[in-house]
Structure 1
């Protein structure tokens, strides 16, 4: 696979993940809070995350695979700029946060919504919101590392 194609896949996957988090956190969340009560808002979040998280999972796999392929094409980890190491480390932390949301928190949100346990669902949604905030901040570090590596 050509370097251009690998880099394109890598950047598109990153843009989808980061852009989706930014949209959800900065646009959808405030709008939903302003017009929907918890019994409507929380199931909306469960449904949105049910569609978004599997697609982010695919994006994470593409990022990992394309990133590793780009490193190997550059001669391995010893031959890449320090910024690439930062991207890999911080991106790995972001992937762990994604897995916590996907495997632990989203199922709880969905289950609490199914039985109309709104205070519990709201608490889980708040934990998801906080982790998305962390991932958005980490994404700034990744972008900075990418620019530094150039």
Structure 2
């Protein structure tokens, strides 16, 4: 996507450096709690953690630690409390891409949602993904 910055981090130091260089020193890192596979229900109101810009780092399948990181503008990051069918409580992280007009019309999100580029698209992040957001003052 236009304006998206991409990076492969092969160490914890490079992962941190990438995120701090793009978002500043005053950042917060989040991830979805690891929970067992079961049905979950949203149990309370979501809390907005970050808006406008975030650095997302996805763990890659590799024999050593590698994360595919990218910075995405025009996003909103929320923390969503969930409760599992067995009563387990977890916090999940969601990302909303607020403007999808520049995305390819063939993007999987549009196929699944049966929409065209333009409106916001939101999704949950898995527990192997780290998301960095500027801290709110």
Scaled to the shorter chain, the TM-score interval is: under 0.3
Instruction: Answer 1 or 2: which has greater helix percent.
Output: 1
Larger strand proportion of the pair = 2
Q: Which has the larger radius of gyration?
A: 1
